[in-house]
Structure 1
């Protein structure tokens, strides 16, 4: 075990932090070395029942808390996040692997989410309908109730904060089940809320076997909404579980983002943008640019420039300031990426850079594949790793056909200096978010979500808060 890890790994139930005490545990691994650095306790069935009871009582008192007070607490939690940035970022890098600079940015973005939702807590407006004298009809927005939230390991702090901030601002209580791979940084985030004065029972933090925990929580009548970020198959599974209780669901599922690069773009500027973005967090980003479709006239120059820049991406432990890319998050990922690369090469793709797994830890080289056919597995299944795949297109219709071919529709990107082309792309690309000459598509005040197999519902913006609210009409005569 790494004695410098230092995280107090525990469950939080009804205001009480619970450690081992005979519970089963899950080993926490440093993905850069493959070594165990700690162990997190897993919730028992009794723990989950206690968490459900606490969430029900916590909801009763939190929904009655004035919006101004809820907002003030979220702002205090944001301030604590900023004060503790180095501690939380270090935990995040040790557990997940991303470079420390990216980890700091994730913590900063999480604080911004709390601040933004704190302000919106006071703007949950209803309306009064026009009625004859002596009659009143009002429309109110009220919190949906206790919420079960499930978050992944690629942005463990930010994605947990995104769900917590909206749920708490609207008056909901929460049972949060973050990933077992990253318990220290997620626990540190929740500690900012408790240290800010969050009442007991408003947030519970549990770890456990994902299917066991999700089945137990979603089956309970206490839970009124489920929010999940993760893979398409798991999203479908959770929706089936939620259907039995007619529970509201928000699903932010997988993507396989296309990038359309037109011949009129500023090629060097575009390359300088797309390569760092592709290898951010080792490509383990649901909106990572992955399928690069490049207009025929600039295709060869694009591939050459992309390959040269890819070879210059330095990999190493995330705590090393010289590392531009860290390892993949767990032992399963290098083998999965290697299989996709080998399949593409066997089907005619050219390996222009990288293509090999590391000799220690869970590393895989930054990789570019050119001339990738539609029949390659990696053209049809999200790699969720540091691999860019490229092919050419002839014209706008061809580009749109390639972009919209798959059942995914989370994010898409395009680079062009032609306004008419940009307008058409914004309308015609089938995705919940489209970035044109930018990758900045995720912010606290904007909705984040997909279409088709990439899920439904939004997180972020006022749209993200709507899903935690129910609408009630009150008529008086």
Structure 2
């Protein structure tokens, strides 16, 4: 006897709809490896409908005074809190994440971030007016860009949806967002929440639309003529494809792509404290985080002691069922990701040494053991490329110059951290590390007020903060004659 799969649907112009051609794809719970739902496989007709809804809703939403948009976002934040248990259940099933961690580590920051951008809605301002030519006054208008096509990833489906829709809506844009084909459930639930708030407050529900689908759906969204901006969080390959597609009609593009964060540990570091924090920052969310602390560079004088302590911490780190409050992380998101992580381990060079883990665990689902690999060289594949799994690599460096050279010696430039008691060294490193974020004696904390975004192949544009808000606006110069 088979269990009926739950039916997820697109959300277009305030209505839940199947794909126009009826096509669907199965959605798998990565903790069990079994399908639990179906979702639409949206095609051109669905994209057209969602874009038309967002385009029709844009003028009225754009013309609202900021206080009214703030009111909507604050109500959405309240509703997230009221329906938190539904969101937690959806995200846990989506990703196999431990329920306790979704409750403590995702719901509170999401609510805070929505409220932050609710406040930002009332800061839609330009520089002060002035006379820069005799007889004329210049003013600056800051305006929304229009309809935003947004593509969210599968590692943090709910939170990345918030990072996208909150600044976009606050600035006066309308949204068509696509979750990953492997994790649509929580975004569909968010559509229900936002739609109900828009309806209650008397606004068009076409302000926010959700399309389920695959890469082809995302391509159709980016290439569509309606959006003025395309925003994606995903792989470098996907970002390059989006940038190329968007260039055909000069859409604005916002890209948050991969990472390979260096964690530079100097010999004066408190080893026990560093290992404790780094292991959490490396294994949290199964290492499926662009900022994860998974590439550790340790000064050679403390290398052996550090590796032994890190391997011990890995052995004590637990992965497992969603209802186990003692686990730090759940499974990898999908079968392909499990295959990718296994591949990195299988292709390790002879000089590498697996200090802990290195294998799949459990009889079902996509769980992988907390892993430490030492003895690596700078040009090794696992050092240069994003694993996106619970694997921490360790290299040994001799001095500060070499540490900087190796830390910067990858194609990614999203996040990094420095571990030292020497303040001057920390300041030097924060200047020379070529990454969008440098943490000192910590790794991975984020706050709504500070920007998140990288350089090089980690993309461009910022999430969070006033800088992320600005990315969803455009600047207009207005000049008026004083002659009357």
Give your verdict on TM over 0.5: yes
* Aligned-partner Cα distance in 2 for 1:75–1:440: 27
Separation of aligned partners in 2, 1:354 and 1:186: 33
Are residue 172 (structure 1) and residue 185 (structure 2) matched?
no
Matched, 1:187 2:188: yes
Give 1:22 shift: 5.6
Q: TM-score, normalised by structure 2?
A: 0.94
Residues in 2 aligned to 1:20 and 1:147: alpha-carbon distance in whole angstroms:
21
Q: Deviations over 1:354-397 (max 9, x none)?
A: 01112421111110001112342111111000000001111100
Q: Deviations over 1:14-63 (max 9, x none)?
A: 11111467611111111111011111122232111111111111111110
The Cα shift of 1:173 comes to 0.6
2:124 aligns with: 124
Partner of 2:243: 239
Asked if 1:202 corresponds to 2:203, the answer is no
Structure 1 SS opposite 2:347? helix
Q: Distance in 2 between matches of 1:46 and 1:55?
A: 14
Contact residue 404 and residue 429 of structure 1 kept, 8 A: yes
The alpha carbon displacement at 1:466 in A equals: 1.0
Structure 1 residue 469 corresponds to structure 2 residue 470: no
Residues 20 and 45, structure 2, Cα contact 8 Å, conserved in 1:
no
Q: CA–CA distance in 1 between the matches of 2:359 and 2:399?
A: 34
For residues 19 and 13 of structure 2, the distance between their equivalents in structure 1, rounded to whole angstroms, comes to: 17
SS in 1 for 2:170: helix
Superposition deviation, residue 132 in structure 1? 7.2
**In 2, are the aligned partners of 1:11 and 1:207 still within 8 Å (CA)?**
yes
Q: Does 1:80 align with 2:79?
A: yes
Q: 1:85: how far off? A: 1.4
| 2:426 pairs with 1:427 | no
2: CA distance, partners of 1:13 / 1:239? 26
State the number of aligned residues. 474
For 1:181 and 1:438, locate their aligned partners in 2 and report how far apart those are by CA, in whole Å.
32
Query: Which region of structure 1 is more displaced relative to structure 2, 161-170 or 128-137?
Result: 128-137
Q: Give per-residue Cα distances to partners, 1:388-429, cap 9 Å, x unaligned.
A: 000111110011011011111000111101001100011000
Checking the alignment, whether the CA contact within 8 Å between 1:30 and 1:96 is kept in structure 2 is yes
Indicate the residue corresponding to 1:13 in structure 2. Answer: 12
Residue 223 of structure 1 corresponds to: 227
State the superposition RMSD in angstroms: 1.8
Structure 1 position 441, deviation (Å): 4.2
- 3-state SS of paired residue (1:62): helix
Q: Which residue of 2 aligns with 1:111?
A: 111
Q: Which runs of 5+ in 2 are unaligned?
A: none
The TM-score, its normalising length taken from structure 1, stands at 0.96
Give me the whole-angstrom Cα distance separating, in 1, the residues matched to 2:57 and 2:212: 20
Structure 1 440/406 Cα, relative in aligned 2: closer, same or farther at 3 Å?
closer
- For residues 70-469 of structure 1, what are the structure 2 equivalents within 5 Å? 70-104=69-103, 105-126=105-126, 127-130=128-131, 135-197=136-198, 199-210=204-215, 212-344=216-348, 346-358=349-361, 359-469=363-473
CA deviation string 1:287-342 (max 9, x = no partner): 00111110111111111110011001112122322322211000112221112112
Greater than 6 Å deviation, 4+ residue runs: 1-6
Q: Structure 1 CA distance, aligned partners of 2:96 and 2:378? A: 31
Contact 2:28 2:182 survives alignment (8 Å): yes
